Amino acid sequence: MGRPGAGPPPRNTQATAVALPAPLPEQLEEQLEVQLQQEPITHPDAQPRAQRWARRAMAGERWIARVLRTGAVMSGGMFVASLALELLPRGESVHVAIDLLRKGAASMLLVTPVARLAMAGTLLGLRGEWRYTAIAAGVLCLLALAVGAGFQA
């Protein structure tokens, strides 16, 4: 049924020795305590750089999620409002309102990803990732050119 040697590879059986640091001499510890007591702590809750960057990245992702969520909810709300207006008696003003709400909902659905791209490009620029910021700006410029060309046609 099984071939010889077809099982999982053998585990690494070599042990690795790790040297532990020697404890500090008592005199050095006392000097260190005195120095720490004399120096004021300017930022007691300061976090290491990696943690700050991780928190900023998470905050940026939350902003992008908010932009997408807001666009979807607003678009959906406009479409539902246009459906509710369908229940009213037909008149010129009701027909115009329905038309405007549906066009607005469709426009909001189209604009939401563009707003997300602009937000992501800005956040990447703030993080110093210039290559991706330039790519996002290039895509936005191409979209602007396409829309401009579409209006001319």
The pLDDT tens digits of the residues spanning 98-151 come to: 999 999 999 999 999 999 999 999 988 888 889 999 999 999 999 999 988 887
Model pLDDT, residue 97: 92
CB 63 within 8 A of CB 123: yes
List of long-range contacts for 134-143, beta carbons under 8 Å, 24+ apart: 140/114, 143/114
Global pTM?
0.56
Nearest Cα neighbor of 78 from 55, 97, 57, 65 is 97
Contacts of 104 (CB under 8 A, 6+ apart): 78
Q: Is the pLDDT of residue 14 over 80?
A: no
